[in-house]
């Protein structure tokens, strides 16, 4: 009789290596899933960051379009629109609807000492009491002539932007280049909260567009401009409650907008991601500090890696528990057997009974493990049912369903393993009744069970019906055929030949396939418990099937051997006791 695994009372090095390898695979799967999840989340942050940058660029281009519309209106009036004409233009522009975030749109004229008097006379005819302020020592005047809507920008009418460096330098740069420019950080006179803002300029000239800086200075009339408060600009750009990122903007080291304060509702003190983007904006460089906020964190938590790790560790714990339980059980059983053997060495019948008790003990140990396995499977199914509405929703995370399926798969493997151990332990415990077995019917049944085509299994035998233990023999042939089906690389090309030859004392069976074959160094190992030659893309196996074959054959007094070379298929040979005469011959070579 084959010695049972764990009979020494110790976990073998092979089993330790299997458990360690399984744990390595579990942690590798967890790490891979974690890295994949983190990569996807980082991509979402990058997309959110790029969206913010793109929105700012697109919005500034749209604001420039509004300024250029004003330039076109001024040039259509040869640079000399009246206050009423400008109001009509601004009203039709509908900046409050089309250009959210802008404070208004107006006109600044460039004046010298020679043109100042005529300018004041014209403005005061439109608006009595018009004055230019504040006084300064520059040799140029740049008063704000018009600004609409005027009700919220009245404090800016008459303001001479030449009095302050940031306002003046951006306006002069716009004049000299002919391009739109924004100013450095300023505080708008009409902003009661005195927060950071800037001015946006687009120049217009007398006649056609001048060709050089000197000509532009000579023919400049003024600029169409728009004042901005940064908080209004960003609010019009994208409301904070719709974003998963917070942003701060600096210009030349001066912070002009900040959402990173701890008083912000969605502030994350330890953001998952941060990035800095330098953005060239109409002659200025804005430094954007973009960080993920609490909304991003809440929407991008991931549970799949944790579920894989927990599920894997649970399975590893079950496997380890099984090994420990069997070691302890066999240690006790072996100790008991030794004691009985010493006392009853001469009583062979009692020794056989003791061995049967050992087999029963292994059966009971494996059978008892099925209860927690069923519990885990049932609990997982309940979780899937509870989450059914969520998993079928469009916004469901598909990785949760994959993780639950992975747990069920591992539980099924544990169930297959314990079932195999139970089947192995019961071989020989209860002898099967002797009865007829029809080989043709057996082959036809195997063809159906393994979903093969009739020509793929061929029976060659001079006999059809034999009297034997039909359950045991069927188990042996089923396992050998199943082994051929499982490990064949191309199922449609599979070919199996089953032969039965009668000798005086036994029946000689062989099961031959055209599969990949087995290397000589593995041919002894495959009949041992938990041994499998499974490759990475082959079906998962418990490693018990051929051990069951070997034990069933040996219990019935036979021997099993194999012939195989890699690439040339495998043939298993075994003897089976001939308990009664053959009952009916058939022609050799019949196909199932």
Q: Is residue 218 part of a domain?
A: yes
* pLDDT band with cut points at 50, 70 and 90 for residue 536: very low
Work out the average pLDDT over 314-335: 75
Per-residue confidence (pLDDT) for residue 305, from 0 to 100 = 67
Residue that has been written with the tokens 């079932």 in this structure: 419
Do both 396 and 505 map to the same domain? no
Spatial contact of 102 and 236, defined as CB atoms under 8 Å apart: yes
Count of the separate structural domains present in the chain: 3
Q: What is the predicted pLDDT for the residue at 524? A: 75
CA distance readout (Å), 356 to 25, 251, 492: 38, 87, 43
> In which band, very low, low, confident or very high, does the pLDDT at 416 lie, cut at 50, 70 and 90?
low
Which stretch of 89-98, 154-163, 309-318, 425-434 has the lowest confidence by average pLDDT?
Answer: 425-434
Least confident of 84-88, 468-472, 501-505: 468-472
Where in the sequence is the domain holding 132, given as residue range(s)?
57-235
Considering the domain architecture, whether residues 342 and 477 belong to the same structural domain is answered as no
pLDDT at 100 over 50: yes
Give the CA distances from residue 161 to residues 114, 165, 174, 188, in Å, rounded to whole numbers and listed in that order: 19, 9, 13, 11
The band of 9, judged by pLDDT with boundaries at 50, 70 and 90, is: low
Average pLDDT on 308-322 reads 75
Residues 411 and 456 in one domain: no
Mark which of 384, 400, 426 sits at the end of a domain.
Answer: 426
On whether both 367 and 467 belong to a single domain, the answer is no
In percent, how much of the chain has pLDDT > 90? 34
Give the pTM: 0.51
Residue 15: inside a domain, yes or no?
Answer: no
pLDDT on residue 591:
38
Those residues whose C-beta lies under 8 Å from the C-beta of residue 71, and which sit 6 or more positions away, are 202, 203, 204, 224
Of residues 240, 228, 224, the one with CA closest to residue 60: 228
- Tell me the pLDDT band of 583, cut-offs 50, 70 and 90: very low
More confident residue, 301 or 82: 82
Higher pLDDT, 244 or 126: 126
DSSP helix/strand/coil, 133? strand
271 assigned to some structural domain: no
**421 and 451 assigned to the same domain:** no
Q: Do the strands 506-513 and 496-502 form a parallel or antiparallel pair, or are they unpaired?
A: antiparallel
| Whole-number Å distance between alpha carbons of 411 and 373 | 6
Which one of 366, 399, 426 terminates a domain?
Answer: 426
**Confidence tier at 360 by pLDDT (50, 70, 90):** low
- The mean-pLDDT minimum among 41-45, 145-149, 239-243, 333-337 falls in 239-243
Determine the pLDDT at residue 415: 63
What is the pairing mode between strands 457-460 and 496-502?
parallel
pLDDT at 586 over 50: no
pLDDT digits (tens, 9 = 90+) for 418-473: 665 666 555 655 555 677 888 888 889 888 888 888 888 999 888 888 887 788 88
Q: Is residue 205 part of a domain?
A: yes
Tell me what pLDDT residue 180 has.
97
Q: Is residue 167 located within the same domain as residue 186? A: yes
| pLDDT of 582 | 42
User: Is 538 found in the same domain as 496?
Assistant: yes
Mean pLDDT, to the nearest integer, of 285-314? Answer: 81
Confidence of residue 213 (pLDDT cuts 50, 70, 90): very high
User: Same domain for 422 and 441?
Assistant: no
Using the predicted structure, report yes or no on whether residue 512 has a pLDDT greater than 50.
yes
Q: Are 350 and 217 in a shared domain?
A: no
Asked if 63 and 246 count as a contact pair (C-beta separation under 8 A), the reply is no
Q: Are 66 and 99 in contact (CB under 8 A)?
A: yes
Same domain, 420 and 439: no
pLDDT tens digits, one per residue of 152-207: 999 999 999 999 999 999 999 999 999 999 999 999 998 888 889 999 999 999 98
Domain annotation covers residue 76: yes
Mean pLDDT of the chain: 81
Q: What is the CATH number of the domain that holds 101?
A: 3.30.450.350
CATH of the domain at 539: 3.30.565.10
Query: How confident is the model at residue 587, as a pLDDT?
Result: 38
**Which region among 454-468, 534-548, 558-572 has the lowest average model confidence (pLDDT)?**
534-548
Q: Does residue 315 have a pLDDT over 50?
A: yes
As a whole number of angstroms, the distance between CA 546 and CA 528 comes to: 7
Domain boundary among 395, 426, 457: 426
3-state secondary structure 530-572: CCCCCCCCCCCCCCCHHHHHHHHHHHCCCCEEEEECCCCCEEE
Reported as a single tens digit per residue, the pLDDT across 235-284 is 766 666 667 888 999 999 999 999 888 888 888 999 989 999 999 999 99
pLDDT of residue 1: 47
Asked whether residue 415 falls in the same domain as residue 537, the answer is: no
Same domain? 309 vs 333: yes
Contact indicator for 67, 225 with CB cutoff of 8 Å: yes
Most confident of the following: 7-16, 82-91, 331-340: 82-91
């Amino acid at each position: 009789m084959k010695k049972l695994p764990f009979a020494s009372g110790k976990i073998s090095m092979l089993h330790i290596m299997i458990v360690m390898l399984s744990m390595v695979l579990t942690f590798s799967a967890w790490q891979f899933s974690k890295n994949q999840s983190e990569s996807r989340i980082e991509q979402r942050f990058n997309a959110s960051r790029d969206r913010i940058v793109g929105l700012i660029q697109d919005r500034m281009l749209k604001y420039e379009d509004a300024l250029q519309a004003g330039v076109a209106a001024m040039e259509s009036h040869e640079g000399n629109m009246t206050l009423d004409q400008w109001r009509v233009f601004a009203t039709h522009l509908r900046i409050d609807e089309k250009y959210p975030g802008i404070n208004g749109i107006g006109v600044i004229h460039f004046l010298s000492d020679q043109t100042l008097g005529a300018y004041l006379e014209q403005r005061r005819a439109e608006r009595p009491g018009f004055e230019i302020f504040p006084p300064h020592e520059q040799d140029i005047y740049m008063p704000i002539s018009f600004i609409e809507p005027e009700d919220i920008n009245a404090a800016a009418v008459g303001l001479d932007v030449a009095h302050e460096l940031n306002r003046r330098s951006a306006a002069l740069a716009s004049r000299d280049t002919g391009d739109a420019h924004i100013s450095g950080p300023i505080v708008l006179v009409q902003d009661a909260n005195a927060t950071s803002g800037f001015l946006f300029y687009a120049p217009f000239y007398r006649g056609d567009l001048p060709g050089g800086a000197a000509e532009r200075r000579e023919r400049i009339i003024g600029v169409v401009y728009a004042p901005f408060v940064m908080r209004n600009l960003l609010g019009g750009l994208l409301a904070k409650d719709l974003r998963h990122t917070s942003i701060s903007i600096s210009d030349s080291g001066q912070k002009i907008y900040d959402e990173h304060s701890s008083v912000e509702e969605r502030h994350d003190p330890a953001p998952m991601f941060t990035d800095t983007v330098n953005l060239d904006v109409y002659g200025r460089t804005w430094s954007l500090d973009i960080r993920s906020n609490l909304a991003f964190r809440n929407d991008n938590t991931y549970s799949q890696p944790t579920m894989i790790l927990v599920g894997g560790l649970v399975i590893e714990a079950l496997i380890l528990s099984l090994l420990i339980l069997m070691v302890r059980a066999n240690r006790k059983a072996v100790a008991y057997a030794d004691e009985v053997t010493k006392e009853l060495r001469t009583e062979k019948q009692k020794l056989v009974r003791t061995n049967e008790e050992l087999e029963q003990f292994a059966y009971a140990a494996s059978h008892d493990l099925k209860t927690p396995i069923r519990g885990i499977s049932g609990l997982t199914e309940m979780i899937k049912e509870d989450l059914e509405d969520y998993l079928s929703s469009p916004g469901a995370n598909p990785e949760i369903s994959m993780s639950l399926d992975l747990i069920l798969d591992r539980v099924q493997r544990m169930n297959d393993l314990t079932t195999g151990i139970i089947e192995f332990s019961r071989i020989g415990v209860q002898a099967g009744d002797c009865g007829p077995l029809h080989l043709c019917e057996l082959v036809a049944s195997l063809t159906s069970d393994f979903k093969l085509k009739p020509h793929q299994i061929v029976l060659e035998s001079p006999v059809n019906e034999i009297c034997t233990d039909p359950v045991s023999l069927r188990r042996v042939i089923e396992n050998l055929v199943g082994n051929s089906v499982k490990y064949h690389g191309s199922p449609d090309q599979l070919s199996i030949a089953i032969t039965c030859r009668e000798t005086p004392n036994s029946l000689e069976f062989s099961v031959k396939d055209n599969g990949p074959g087995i290397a000589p160094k593995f041919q002894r190992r495959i009949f041992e418990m938990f041994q499998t030659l499974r490759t990475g893309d082959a079906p998962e196996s418990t490693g018990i099937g051929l051990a069951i074959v070997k034990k069933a054959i040996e219990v019935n007094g036979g021997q099993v051997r194999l012939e195989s070379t890699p690439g040339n298929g495998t043939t298993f040979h075994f003897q089976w006791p001939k308990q009664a005469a053959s009952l009916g011959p058939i022609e050799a070579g019949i196909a199932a």
